[in-house]
């Protein structure tokens, strides 16, 4: 009986240690995931601002961006106005789908931005 209990106790400890280790790994993983999202947001922001990339600021007012253009509507409250990520992505990738005469460049269709870069810009826009 005693013996059995001891074995049980040891097993329990092992399990706890494993669980702790697993928890630690999970925390690390979450931290890593958060870090990459924060990185995605930062790089999305610079992709949106850079003249040679999105240059969205040429036409849209965006929070603290300097000397914004006024050709398109201000980019604000994006989550509210674009609850669907796919719709926002489509507007950036090819604005002419929604409006054939759009003055907004079709960023993916004309190879100005990659889909991956647009994903990062969308991450950033959802913080606005």
Partner 1 sequence: MKNYAALLLLGLAPLLSLAGPEEDREAFVEYYQARFPDVPFAEFANGIYAIDEDARRQWQDIEEFPPYEFAIEQGESLWHETMPDEAKLADCFAQPVADIRPAYPRFDAGRGEVVTLALAINHCRQAHRLPALPYDSDELISITAYLAYAARGKPVATRVPADEPGALAAYEDGKRFYYSKRGQLNFACADCHVTSVGLHVRADRLSASLGHTTHFPVYRSKLGAVISLHQRFFGCVRDVRAKPFALQSKEFRNLEYFLSYMGNGLEFNGPGARK
Which residue from 44, 45, 47, 68 is in contact with partner 1, where contact means CB under 8 A? 68
Can you tell me which residue has the tokens 């049980």? 8
According to the binding rule CB under 8 A, does residue 57 interact with partner 1? yes
Which residue from 71, 76, 86, 97 is in contact with partner 1, where contact means CB under 8 A? 71
Compute the least distance from the CB of residue 97 to partner 1, in Å.
13
User: What token pair was written down for 125?
Assistant: 């826009």
According to the binding rule CB under 6 A, does residue 73 interact with ligand HEC? yes
Which residue from 16, 17, 79, 103 is in contact with ligand HEC, where contact means CB under 6 A? 103
Of 98, 93, 88, whose CA–CA distance to 116 is shortest?
Answer: 93
What dihedral angle (degrees, nearest 10) is formed by the CA atoms of 63, 92, 48, 53?
A: -150
Compute the least distance from the CB of residue 104 to partner 1, in Å.
8
Compute the least distance from the CB of residue 107 to partner 1, in Å.
10
Q: Cβ–Cβ contacts within 10 Å for residue 18, how many?
A: 10
Question: How many CA atoms, within 13 angstroms, populate the side-chain half-sphere of residue 55?
Answer: 10
Which residue from 53, 85, 106, 108 is in contact with partner 1, where contact means CB under 8 A? 106
According to the binding rule CB under 6 A, does residue 68 interact with ligand HEC? no
What dihedral angle (degrees, nearest 10) is formed by the CA atoms of 69, 71, 94, 81?
A: 90
């Amino acid at each position: 009986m005693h013996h059995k209990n001891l074995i049980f106790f040891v097993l329990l400890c092992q399990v706890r240690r494993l669980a702790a280790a697993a928890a630690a790994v999970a925390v690390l993983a979450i931290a890593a995931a958060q870090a990459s999202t924060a990185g995605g947001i930062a790089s999305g922001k610079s992709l949106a601002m850079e003249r040679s990339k999105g240059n969205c600021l040429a036409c849209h007012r965006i929070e603290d961006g300097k000397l914004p253009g006024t050709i398109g509507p201000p980019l604000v409250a994006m989550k509210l106005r674009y609850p669907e990520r796919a719709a926002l992505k489509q507007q950036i990738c090819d604005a002419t789908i929604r409006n054939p005469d759009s003055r907004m460049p079709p960023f993916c269709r004309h190879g100005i931005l990659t889909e991956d870069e647009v994903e990062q810009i969308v991450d950033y826009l959802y913080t606005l």
